[in-house]
Structure 1
Amino acid sequence: MDNQRHGLFIGIEHSGRDHFFLSIKAIGKLTHQDYQLMVPLLEAAIEGTVQPELYALVDVTELQGWDAEALWDDLKLGVTHGRDFKKIAVVGRSGWQQWMTKVADWFTPIDIEYFYQRQAAVDWLEQAVNDGQHTS
């Protein structure tokens, strides 16, 4: 039996007075079962918004990769809900994570940026939220 810790964790993170981000943390080697549990939660959160323009902070510092079926699940998730996200800041610690972020940015309509430091990612998202509030 494999006792390695893995999974996807979703939450809401508040930053500043009026700012909040969808917070996602990926740990270990993700499996198809991880996505089966997480996707309905994410879809329920998105369904509750009228015109979703979500900002997300994704922490992959403990991500070790995906099994083949989970990688397919991740691709389907991006295709299905890509337009629901306005910006995604990815915080990681390795070159392959940065490379995967660039690939995702090429193939989705989402503005995705990679950061090695969490605070830089939060600052980028806060600036995007502030810019979006001024253009409405």
Structure 2
Amino acid sequence: MITISHEQNYIHVAVLGEFTLKDFREFEENVLYELRFHGRANLLFDLTEMISYTLDMAIEEIRFARAHRRDFDKVAVLSNDQWVAWSAWLNQLLSEARIELFQETDAARAWLAPPSETGQAPA
């Protein structure tokens, strides 16, 4: 199951339990809407409550990342799992997005914030 919310500077996706192809299709619809009306997108993927994922979802994730390799600016991934870290590294090869792994939500949100909101130069 997933929850999706459109925040001011990013799309917040939280995965609860098993991440299925149906869930990923819902994610795709939300991201494609964001891309159509706002251009490039930032994502906050909270995978701290994800227990597992299906193989068909993983294949679709790779296909989607390749098809939209230039559509994302920043992708923050919340997780403590080494496999998620490996997946984030793999996606970095398939995408031009800046992908960072975080263990705390506040740090991920700060990284996604525009430089004018943090008082810092762009990363």
The 3-state SS of whatever aligns with 2:107 is helix
2:90 is equivalent to residue 119 of structure 1: no
Name the TM-score, length of structure 2 as normaliser: 0.82
Q: Which runs of 5+ in 1 are unaligned?
A: 1-6, 15-19
Residue 114 (structure 1) shift: 0.2
Q: Which residue of 2 aligns with 1:9?
A: 3
Q: Distance in 2 between matches of 1:36 and 1:59?
A: 17
| CA shift digits 1:64-121 (9 cap, x unpaired) | 2321111111112212223111011111122222222122112211110001111111
Q: Which residue of 2 aligns with 1:65?
A: 52
The 3-state SS of whatever aligns with 2:96 is coil
Correspondence 1:1-136 to 2 at 5 A: 7-14=1-8, 20-49=9-38, 52-126=39-113, 129-130=114-115
- Paired residues in the alignment total 118
Change (3 A) 1:55 1:38: closer
Residue 30 (structure 1) shift: 1.5
Structure 1 outlier segments of 4+, above 6 Å? none
Q: Which residue of 2 aligns with 1:4?
A: none
How many percent of aligned residue pairs carry the same amino acid? 21
The 3-state SS of whatever aligns with 1:48 is helix
Are the aligned partners of 2:41 and 2:71 in contact in 1 as well (CA < 8 Å)? yes
Q: Distance in 2 between matches of 1:35 and 1:57?
A: 14
Q: Distance in 2 between matches of 1:21 and 1:41?
A: 11
Change (3 A) 1:115 1:42: same
The 3-state SS of whatever aligns with 1:34 is helix
Q: Tell me which structure has the larger Cα radius of gyration.
A: 1
* C-alpha RMSD of matched pairs (Å): 2.0
The 3-state SS of whatever aligns with 2:59 is helix
Q: Which runs of 5+ in 2 are unaligned?
A: none
